[in-house]
Amino acid sequence: MKPMKPASRKTIKVGYLARVEGEGGIFIRVSNGQVREVKLRIFEPPRFFEAFLRGRMYTEAPDITARICGICPVAYQMSAVHAMEAALGVRVEGQLRALRRLLYCGEWIESHILHIYMLHAPDFLGYPDAIRMAQDYPDVVKRGLELKKIGNAIIALLGGREVHPINVRVGGFYRVPTRRELAPLAEQLKWARDAALETVRWTATLPYADFNRDYTFVALRHPAEYPFNEGRIVSNRGLDITSDEYEQHFSEEHVDYSNALHSTLRGSGAYFVGPMARYSLNFDQLSPLAQEAARAAGLGSVCRNPFQSIIVRAIETLYACDEALRIIEAYEQPDAPSVECVPRSGTGTACTEAPRGLLYHRYRLDETGQILDAKIVPPTSQNQKIIEEDLTSFVTQSIALPEDELTSRCEQTVRNYDPCISCATHFLRLQIERE
Protein backbone atom coordinates (compact mmCIF):
# COMPACT_ATOMS: atom_id res chain seq x y z
CA MET A 1 0.00 0.00 0.00
CA LYS A 2 1.30 3.43 -0.91
CA PRO A 3 1.85 6.00 1.78
CA MET A 4 -0.59 8.86 1.54
CA LYS A 5 0.69 12.08 0.12
CA PRO A 6 0.38 14.94 2.55
CA ALA A 7 -2.71 16.37 0.87
CA SER A 8 -3.32 20.07 1.19
CA ARG A 9 -6.68 19.45 2.84
CA LYS A 10 -8.36 16.31 4.08
CA THR A 11 -10.99 15.21 6.46
CA ILE A 12 -10.74 11.73 7.93
CA LYS A 13 -13.94 9.83 8.59
CA VAL A 14 -14.31 6.46 10.19
CA GLY A 15 -17.93 5.66 10.55
CA TYR A 16 -17.70 3.07 13.24
CA LEU A 17 -15.51 2.60 16.29
CA ALA A 18 -15.74 -0.92 17.56
CA ARG A 19 -14.48 -2.29 20.83
CA VAL A 20 -15.29 0.64 23.06
CA GLU A 21 -18.16 0.44 25.50
CA GLY A 22 -21.05 2.49 24.16
CA GLU A 23 -21.66 4.57 21.08
CA GLY A 24 -19.89 7.63 19.71
CA GLY A 25 -17.61 9.00 17.05
CA ILE A 26 -14.41 10.79 16.18
CA PHE A 27 -13.99 13.47 13.51
CA ILE A 28 -10.56 14.70 12.37
CA ARG A 29 -9.90 17.44 9.82
CA VAL A 30 -6.45 18.01 8.38
CA SER A 31 -5.31 20.76 6.03
CA ASN A 32 -1.82 21.65 4.74
CA GLY A 33 -0.39 18.74 6.68
CA GLN A 34 -1.70 20.14 9.97
CA VAL A 35 -4.44 18.72 12.18
CA ARG A 36 -7.01 21.51 12.34
CA GLU A 37 -9.83 19.91 14.23
CA VAL A 38 -10.44 16.85 16.38
CA LYS A 39 -13.84 16.20 17.87
CA LEU A 40 -14.87 13.32 20.08
CA ARG A 41 -18.58 13.18 19.31
CA ILE A 42 -21.20 11.63 21.48
CA PHE A 43 -24.54 11.04 19.83
CA GLU A 44 -26.95 9.65 22.35
CA PRO A 45 -28.57 11.88 24.92
CA PRO A 46 -26.87 12.09 28.31
CA ARG A 47 -27.97 9.61 30.86
CA PHE A 48 -30.51 10.75 33.34
CA PHE A 49 -29.44 8.97 36.48
CA GLU A 50 -28.74 12.19 38.38
CA ALA A 51 -32.36 13.24 37.88
CA PHE A 52 -33.55 9.69 38.51
CA LEU A 53 -31.87 9.76 41.94
CA ARG A 54 -33.64 12.92 43.05
CA GLY A 55 -36.41 12.10 45.53
CA ARG A 56 -35.12 8.58 46.21
CA MET A 57 -33.86 7.50 49.64
CA TYR A 58 -30.13 7.48 50.42
CA THR A 59 -30.34 3.70 50.87
CA GLU A 60 -31.37 3.24 47.22
CA ALA A 61 -28.37 5.02 45.67
CA PRO A 62 -25.97 2.03 45.62
CA ASP A 63 -28.39 -0.18 43.70
CA ILE A 64 -29.61 2.55 41.34
CA THR A 65 -26.13 3.76 40.45
CA ALA A 66 -24.90 0.17 40.02
CA ARG A 67 -27.16 0.00 36.98
CA ILE A 68 -25.44 2.92 35.24
CA CYS A 69 -22.75 0.59 33.92
CA GLY A 70 -22.73 -3.16 33.41
CA ILE A 71 -18.92 -3.16 33.36
CA CYS A 72 -18.21 -1.23 36.55
CA PRO A 73 -21.22 -1.45 38.88
CA VAL A 74 -18.97 -1.84 41.94
CA ALA A 75 -17.29 1.51 41.27
CA TYR A 76 -20.66 3.25 41.20
CA GLN A 77 -21.74 1.51 44.38
CA MET A 78 -18.50 2.37 46.14
CA SER A 79 -18.56 6.08 45.25
CA ALA A 80 -22.24 6.17 46.26
CA VAL A 81 -21.80 4.52 49.66
CA HIS A 82 -18.74 6.58 50.56
CA ALA A 83 -20.47 9.82 49.61
CA MET A 84 -23.59 8.85 51.60
CA GLU A 85 -21.49 7.88 54.61
CA ALA A 86 -19.72 11.25 54.40
CA ALA A 87 -23.13 12.96 54.44
CA LEU A 88 -24.27 10.89 57.41
CA GLY A 89 -21.00 11.16 59.35
CA VAL A 90 -20.36 7.39 59.28
CA ARG A 91 -16.97 5.67 58.96
CA VAL A 92 -16.67 2.07 57.79
CA GLU A 93 -13.46 0.48 59.03
CA GLY A 94 -11.77 -2.86 59.67
CA GLN A 95 -12.93 -5.97 57.88
CA LEU A 96 -15.91 -4.25 56.25
CA ARG A 97 -13.52 -1.77 54.67
CA ALA A 98 -11.26 -4.66 53.61
CA LEU A 99 -14.22 -6.48 52.01
CA ARG A 100 -14.97 -3.37 49.97
CA ARG A 101 -11.40 -3.43 48.69
CA LEU A 102 -11.80 -7.12 47.87
CA LEU A 103 -14.98 -6.39 45.91
CA TYR A 104 -13.14 -3.67 44.00
CA CYS A 105 -10.31 -6.15 43.24
CA GLY A 106 -12.91 -8.36 41.55
CA GLU A 107 -14.13 -5.51 39.38
CA TRP A 108 -10.63 -4.40 38.36
CA ILE A 109 -9.75 -7.97 37.41
CA GLU A 110 -12.82 -8.59 35.27
CA SER A 111 -12.86 -5.13 33.67
CA HIS A 112 -9.11 -4.92 32.94
CA ILE A 113 -9.01 -8.47 31.59
CA LEU A 114 -11.97 -7.86 29.27
CA HIS A 115 -10.19 -4.82 27.88
CA ILE A 116 -6.72 -6.36 27.63
CA TYR A 117 -7.70 -9.63 25.95
CA MET A 118 -10.97 -8.98 24.13
CA LEU A 119 -10.81 -5.31 23.16
CA HIS A 120 -7.24 -3.99 23.09
CA ALA A 121 -4.84 -6.85 22.27
CA PRO A 122 -6.27 -7.36 18.74
CA ASP A 123 -5.04 -3.82 17.88
CA PHE A 124 -1.45 -4.72 18.69
CA LEU A 125 -1.51 -8.07 16.90
CA GLY A 126 -3.24 -6.80 13.76
CA TYR A 127 -6.59 -8.56 14.14
CA PRO A 128 -9.97 -6.95 13.56
CA ASP A 129 -11.33 -8.51 16.75
CA ALA A 130 -10.75 -11.06 19.52
CA ILE A 131 -12.63 -13.73 17.57
CA ARG A 132 -10.08 -13.69 14.76
CA MET A 133 -7.27 -13.45 17.33
CA ALA A 134 -8.65 -16.50 19.17
CA GLN A 135 -8.18 -18.63 16.04
CA ASP A 136 -4.41 -18.03 16.19
CA TYR A 137 -4.00 -17.56 19.95
CA PRO A 138 -6.61 -19.86 21.52
CA ASP A 139 -4.63 -20.49 24.70
CA VAL A 140 -4.00 -16.80 25.27
CA VAL A 141 -7.69 -15.96 24.87
CA LYS A 142 -8.72 -18.87 27.11
CA ARG A 143 -6.34 -17.56 29.79
CA GLY A 144 -8.12 -14.20 29.55
CA LEU A 145 -11.53 -15.85 29.90
CA GLU A 146 -10.43 -17.82 32.98
CA LEU A 147 -8.97 -14.72 34.62
CA LYS A 148 -12.11 -12.72 33.96
CA LYS A 149 -14.19 -15.50 35.47
CA ILE A 150 -12.29 -15.17 38.76
CA GLY A 151 -12.98 -11.42 38.89
CA ASN A 152 -16.64 -12.20 38.30
CA ALA A 153 -16.56 -14.87 41.04
CA ILE A 154 -15.37 -12.34 43.62
CA ILE A 155 -18.16 -9.94 42.63
CA ALA A 156 -20.75 -12.75 42.70
CA LEU A 157 -19.68 -13.86 46.18
CA LEU A 158 -19.46 -10.43 47.81
CA GLY A 159 -21.97 -8.56 45.66
CA GLY A 160 -24.64 -11.23 45.78
CA ARG A 161 -24.53 -11.65 42.00
CA GLU A 162 -22.13 -10.87 39.14
CA VAL A 163 -24.28 -8.33 37.43
CA HIS A 164 -25.56 -5.24 39.18
CA PRO A 165 -24.56 -6.57 42.60
CA ILE A 166 -27.12 -6.01 45.32
CA ASN A 167 -25.36 -6.91 48.57
CA VAL A 168 -23.70 -3.52 49.07
CA ARG A 169 -25.39 -1.02 51.37
CA VAL A 170 -24.59 2.33 52.92
CA GLY A 171 -22.68 1.34 56.09
CA GLY A 172 -21.34 -1.98 54.76
CA PHE A 173 -23.07 -5.06 53.37
CA TYR A 174 -26.39 -6.86 53.85
CA ARG A 175 -24.46 -10.08 54.46
CA VAL A 176 -20.76 -10.78 54.89
CA PRO A 177 -19.03 -14.02 53.90
CA THR A 178 -17.56 -16.55 56.31
CA ARG A 179 -13.87 -17.46 56.13
CA ARG A 180 -14.90 -20.81 54.74
CA GLU A 181 -16.83 -19.17 51.90
CA LEU A 182 -13.79 -17.13 50.91
CA ALA A 183 -11.38 -20.08 50.94
CA PRO A 184 -12.18 -21.41 47.43
CA LEU A 185 -11.59 -17.92 46.03
CA ALA A 186 -8.07 -17.98 47.48
CA GLU A 187 -7.28 -21.15 45.55
CA GLN A 188 -8.55 -19.61 42.31
CA LEU A 189 -6.66 -16.39 43.01
CA LYS A 190 -3.34 -18.20 43.38
CA TRP A 191 -3.77 -19.44 39.81
CA ALA A 192 -4.98 -15.98 38.76
CA ARG A 193 -1.90 -14.29 40.22
CA ASP A 194 0.35 -16.51 38.10
CA ALA A 195 -1.83 -15.94 35.04
CA ALA A 196 -1.77 -12.18 35.67
CA LEU A 197 2.02 -12.29 35.84
CA GLU A 198 2.01 -14.13 32.50
CA THR A 199 -0.33 -11.41 31.20
CA VAL A 200 2.16 -8.69 32.19
CA ARG A 201 4.95 -10.55 30.40
CA TRP A 202 2.80 -11.14 27.34
CA THR A 203 1.59 -7.52 27.04
CA ALA A 204 5.20 -6.36 27.36
CA THR A 205 6.05 -8.21 24.14
CA LEU A 206 3.44 -6.34 22.08
CA PRO A 207 4.64 -3.67 19.62
CA TYR A 208 4.08 -0.08 20.80
CA ALA A 209 3.93 3.20 18.98
CA ASP A 210 6.66 5.58 20.10
CA PHE A 211 4.35 8.15 21.63
CA ASN A 212 4.91 9.98 24.92
CA ARG A 213 3.20 13.07 26.27
CA ASP A 214 3.72 15.13 29.37
CA TYR A 215 0.30 14.52 30.89
CA THR A 216 -1.34 16.00 33.95
CA PHE A 217 -2.15 12.81 35.82
CA VAL A 218 -4.93 12.85 38.42
CA ALA A 219 -5.68 9.96 40.80
CA LEU A 220 -6.38 9.14 44.40
CA ARG A 221 -3.42 8.69 46.71
CA HIS A 222 -3.54 7.04 50.10
CA PRO A 223 -0.60 6.94 52.52
CA ALA A 224 -0.85 3.18 53.15
CA GLU A 225 -2.28 1.50 50.07
CA TYR A 226 -2.72 1.51 46.30
CA PRO A 227 -5.98 3.42 45.92
CA PHE A 228 -9.38 1.85 45.46
CA ASN A 229 -11.88 3.50 47.79
CA GLU A 230 -10.14 6.28 49.64
CA GLY A 231 -7.43 8.87 49.44
CA ARG A 232 -6.73 12.46 48.53
CA ILE A 233 -7.06 13.61 44.93
CA VAL A 234 -3.54 14.39 43.74
CA SER A 235 -1.76 15.25 40.51
CA ASN A 236 1.82 15.35 39.29
CA ARG A 237 1.45 19.18 39.16
CA GLY A 238 0.92 19.70 42.88
CA LEU A 239 -2.85 19.25 43.23
CA ASP A 240 -3.65 17.73 46.65
CA ILE A 241 -7.30 18.05 47.71
CA THR A 242 -10.17 16.18 49.32
CA SER A 243 -13.24 15.09 47.37
CA ASP A 244 -15.16 17.94 49.05
CA GLU A 245 -12.94 20.35 47.10
CA TYR A 246 -13.39 18.54 43.76
CA GLU A 247 -15.86 20.99 42.24
CA GLN A 248 -13.69 23.98 43.18
CA HIS A 249 -10.86 22.57 41.07
CA PHE A 250 -12.60 20.69 38.26
CA SER A 251 -15.26 22.07 35.96
CA GLU A 252 -17.51 20.55 33.34
CA GLU A 253 -18.50 22.25 30.11
CA HIS A 254 -20.83 21.56 27.22
CA VAL A 255 -19.31 21.37 23.74
CA ASP A 256 -21.63 21.76 20.77
CA TYR A 257 -20.65 18.49 19.06
CA SER A 258 -21.06 16.11 22.01
CA ASN A 259 -23.80 15.20 24.42
CA ALA A 260 -21.36 14.41 27.22
CA LEU A 261 -19.81 17.09 29.38
CA HIS A 262 -16.08 17.74 29.03
CA SER A 263 -14.13 18.01 32.29
CA THR A 264 -11.16 20.30 32.81
CA LEU A 265 -8.85 21.01 35.69
CA ARG A 266 -9.12 24.73 36.36
CA GLY A 267 -5.86 26.44 35.42
CA SER A 268 -4.38 23.54 33.48
CA GLY A 269 -7.09 22.20 31.15
CA ALA A 270 -7.17 18.58 30.08
CA TYR A 271 -6.09 15.92 32.55
CA PHE A 272 -5.64 12.16 32.54
CA VAL A 273 -7.41 9.70 34.85
CA GLY A 274 -7.24 5.90 34.86
CA PRO A 275 -4.70 3.12 35.26
CA MET A 276 -1.71 5.05 33.88
CA ALA A 277 -2.40 8.03 36.17
CA ARG A 278 -2.92 5.77 39.20
CA TYR A 279 0.23 3.83 38.41
CA SER A 280 2.36 6.94 37.85
CA LEU A 281 1.18 8.59 41.08
CA ASN A 282 1.21 5.44 43.24
CA PHE A 283 3.94 3.15 41.96
CA ASP A 284 5.48 2.96 45.45
CA GLN A 285 2.20 1.55 46.83
CA LEU A 286 2.06 -1.43 44.46
CA SER A 287 2.90 -4.80 45.99
CA PRO A 288 6.56 -5.91 45.59
CA LEU A 289 5.46 -8.55 43.07
CA ALA A 290 3.65 -5.97 40.93
CA GLN A 291 6.58 -3.52 41.12
CA GLU A 292 9.00 -6.25 40.13
CA ALA A 293 6.79 -7.32 37.21
CA ALA A 294 6.55 -3.70 36.04
CA ARG A 295 10.31 -3.28 36.04
CA ALA A 296 10.80 -6.60 34.26
CA ALA A 297 8.29 -5.41 31.64
CA GLY A 298 10.50 -2.38 31.04
CA LEU A 299 8.32 0.23 32.71
CA GLY A 300 9.69 2.87 35.06
CA SER A 301 7.75 4.23 38.00
CA VAL A 302 5.99 6.64 35.62
CA CYS A 303 4.45 5.67 32.28
CA ARG A 304 3.64 8.38 29.71
CA ASN A 305 2.97 6.24 26.63
CA PRO A 306 -0.79 5.54 26.47
CA PHE A 307 -0.17 2.61 24.11
CA GLN A 308 1.56 0.95 27.08
CA SER A 309 -1.59 1.31 29.18
CA ILE A 310 -2.27 -2.33 28.29
CA ILE A 311 0.82 -3.31 30.35
CA VAL A 312 -0.28 -1.03 33.18
CA ARG A 313 -3.71 -2.71 33.24
CA ALA A 314 -1.98 -6.07 33.42
CA ILE A 315 0.14 -4.83 36.35
CA GLU A 316 -2.96 -3.54 38.12
CA THR A 317 -4.62 -6.91 37.53
CA LEU A 318 -1.62 -8.62 39.11
CA TYR A 319 -1.82 -6.19 42.04
CA ALA A 320 -5.56 -6.85 42.41
CA CYS A 321 -4.94 -10.63 42.59
CA ASP A 322 -2.16 -10.10 45.13
CA GLU A 323 -4.24 -7.70 47.22
CA ALA A 324 -7.30 -9.96 47.09
CA LEU A 325 -5.22 -12.86 48.42
CA ARG A 326 -3.81 -10.68 51.20
CA ILE A 327 -7.30 -9.58 52.24
CA ILE A 328 -8.68 -13.13 52.21
CA GLU A 329 -5.75 -14.46 54.26
CA ALA A 330 -6.22 -11.75 56.90
CA TYR A 331 -10.02 -11.99 56.95
CA GLU A 332 -11.95 -12.37 60.19
CA GLN A 333 -15.70 -12.30 59.87
CA PRO A 334 -16.99 -9.09 61.48
CA ASP A 335 -19.69 -9.24 64.15
CA ALA A 336 -22.09 -7.14 62.12
CA PRO A 337 -22.37 -6.83 58.33
CA SER A 338 -22.82 -3.07 58.50
CA VAL A 339 -22.57 -0.08 60.80
CA GLU A 340 -25.69 1.80 61.73
CA CYS A 341 -26.62 4.85 59.68
CA VAL A 342 -29.04 7.49 60.94
CA PRO A 343 -30.53 9.86 58.35
CA ARG A 344 -29.73 13.55 58.69
CA SER A 345 -29.57 16.49 56.33
CA GLY A 346 -26.23 17.23 54.74
CA THR A 347 -24.00 16.90 51.71
CA GLY A 348 -21.49 14.14 51.08
CA THR A 349 -18.88 13.65 48.38
CA ALA A 350 -16.58 10.79 47.47
CA CYS A 351 -14.15 9.74 44.79
CA THR A 352 -13.15 6.15 44.24
CA GLU A 353 -10.97 4.56 41.57
CA ALA A 354 -13.15 2.85 38.97
CA PRO A 355 -11.19 0.59 36.59
CA ARG A 356 -11.15 3.50 34.12
CA GLY A 357 -10.25 6.16 36.70
CA LEU A 358 -11.59 8.66 39.17
CA LEU A 359 -15.35 8.49 39.76
CA TYR A 360 -16.87 11.45 41.65
CA HIS A 361 -20.25 11.41 43.41
CA ARG A 362 -21.96 14.16 45.41
CA TYR A 363 -25.34 13.88 47.16
CA ARG A 364 -27.39 16.36 49.15
CA LEU A 365 -29.85 14.79 51.58
CA ASP A 366 -32.76 16.16 53.61
CA GLU A 367 -33.29 15.25 57.26
CA THR A 368 -35.19 12.05 56.33
CA GLY A 369 -32.39 10.83 54.06
CA GLN A 370 -34.17 11.69 50.82
CA ILE A 371 -31.86 12.71 47.97
CA LEU A 372 -32.35 16.37 47.06
CA ASP A 373 -29.77 16.36 44.30
CA ALA A 374 -26.95 14.25 42.94
CA LYS A 375 -23.90 14.81 40.76
CA ILE A 376 -21.87 12.05 39.10
CA VAL A 377 -18.69 12.62 37.07
CA PRO A 378 -17.49 9.38 35.42
CA PRO A 379 -13.89 8.79 34.34
CA THR A 380 -14.56 8.70 30.59
CA SER A 381 -16.11 12.15 30.77
CA GLN A 382 -12.90 13.36 32.41
CA ASN A 383 -10.67 11.76 29.75
CA GLN A 384 -12.49 13.11 26.69
CA LYS A 385 -10.24 16.13 26.18
CA ILE A 386 -7.08 14.06 26.69
CA ILE A 387 -8.30 11.59 24.05
CA GLU A 388 -8.80 14.49 21.62
CA GLU A 389 -5.33 15.84 22.39
CA ASP A 390 -3.77 12.39 21.90
CA LEU A 391 -5.49 12.11 18.52
CA THR A 392 -4.19 15.53 17.48
CA SER A 393 -0.61 14.63 18.46
CA PHE A 394 -0.78 11.13 17.03
CA VAL A 395 -2.19 12.17 13.65
CA THR A 396 0.34 15.03 13.45
CA GLN A 397 3.30 12.69 13.94
CA SER A 398 1.81 9.88 11.81
CA ILE A 399 0.31 11.88 8.94
CA ALA A 400 2.29 9.96 6.30
CA LEU A 401 0.88 6.57 7.26
CA PRO A 402 -1.36 4.83 4.72
CA GLU A 403 -4.93 5.85 5.30
CA ASP A 404 -6.29 2.55 6.60
CA GLU A 405 -3.37 2.17 8.99
CA LEU A 406 -3.75 5.72 10.27
CA THR A 407 -7.44 5.08 10.79
CA SER A 408 -6.90 1.90 12.76
CA ARG A 409 -4.18 3.59 14.83
CA CYS A 410 -6.59 6.39 15.66
CA GLU A 411 -9.11 3.85 16.84
CA GLN A 412 -6.41 2.25 18.95
CA THR A 413 -5.54 5.68 20.37
CA VAL A 414 -9.11 5.97 21.62
CA ARG A 415 -9.14 2.40 22.95
CA ASN A 416 -5.99 3.15 24.97
CA TYR A 417 -8.41 4.76 27.42
CA ASP A 418 -10.87 1.85 27.53
CA PRO A 419 -13.58 4.46 27.19
CA CYS A 420 -16.86 3.48 28.75
CA ILE A 421 -19.10 5.88 26.96
CA SER A 422 -22.16 4.16 28.28
CA CYS A 423 -21.28 5.81 31.59
CA ALA A 424 -20.36 9.23 30.23
CA THR A 425 -23.39 8.84 28.02
CA HIS A 426 -23.96 6.20 25.35
CA PHE A 427 -21.32 6.09 22.57
CA LEU A 428 -19.74 3.78 20.02
CA ARG A 429 -19.29 5.24 16.55
CA LEU A 430 -15.88 6.62 15.54
CA GLN A 431 -15.66 8.83 12.48
CA ILE A 432 -12.54 10.07 10.80
CA GLU A 433 -12.94 12.04 7.58
CA ARG A 434 -10.42 12.93 4.89
CA GLU A 435 -10.98 15.47 2.14
Toward another protein, which CB reaches closer, 64 or 299? 64
Toward another protein, which CB reaches closer, 82 or 120? 120
For residue 238, with 0-12 CB atoms within 10 Å meaning exposed, 13-18 middle and 19 or more buried, which class applies?
A: exposed
Q: Are β-strands 250-253 and 25-31 bridged in parallel, bridged antiparallel, or unpaired?
A: unpaired
Rounded least distance, CB 122 to another protein, Å: 11
Which of 388, 392, 345 is closest to 367 using CA atoms? 345
Rounded least distance, CB 355 to another protein, Å: 14
The C-alpha atoms of residue 173 and residue 102 are separated, in whole angstroms, by 13
Toward another protein, which CB reaches closer, 49 or 268? 49
Rounded least distance, CB 342 to another protein, Å: 30
The C-alpha atoms of residue 413 and residue 310 are separated, in whole angstroms, by 12
Toward another protein, which CB reaches closer, 163 or 372? 163
Q: Which amino acid is at 18?
A: A
CB 129 within 8 A of CB 415: no
Residues in contact with another protein by CB under 8 A are: 18-23, 47-49, 52, 67, 69-71, 114, 118-119, 129-132, 134-135, 138, 141-142, 144-145, 148-149, 152, 162-164, 422, 426, 428
CB 272 within 8 A of CB 234: no
Q: How long, in residues, is the chain?
A: 435
* Coil, helix or strand at residue 12: strand
Rounded least distance, CB 70 to another protein, Å: 4
CB 409 within 8 A of CB 126: no
Cβ atoms < 10 Å from Cβ of 9? 12
Rounded least distance, CB 131 to another protein, Å: 5
Rounded least distance, CB 224 to another protein, Å: 33
The C-alpha atoms of residue 283 and residue 279 are separated, in whole angstroms, by 5
Q: How far from chain centre, in Å, is Cα 7?
A: 37
Toward another protein, which CB reaches closer, 65 or 79? 65
DSSP string of 86-117? HHHT----HHHHHHHHHHHHHHHHHHHHIIII
Toward another protein, which CB reaches closer, 407 or 422? 422
Toward another protein, which CB reaches closer, 163 or 400? 163
Rounded least distance, CB 163 to another protein, Å: 5
Sign of CA dihedral 327, 329, 332, 336: positive
Rounded least distance, CB 35 to another protein, Å: 26
Toward another protein, which CB reaches closer, 49 or 208? 49
CB 3 within 8 A of CB 430: no
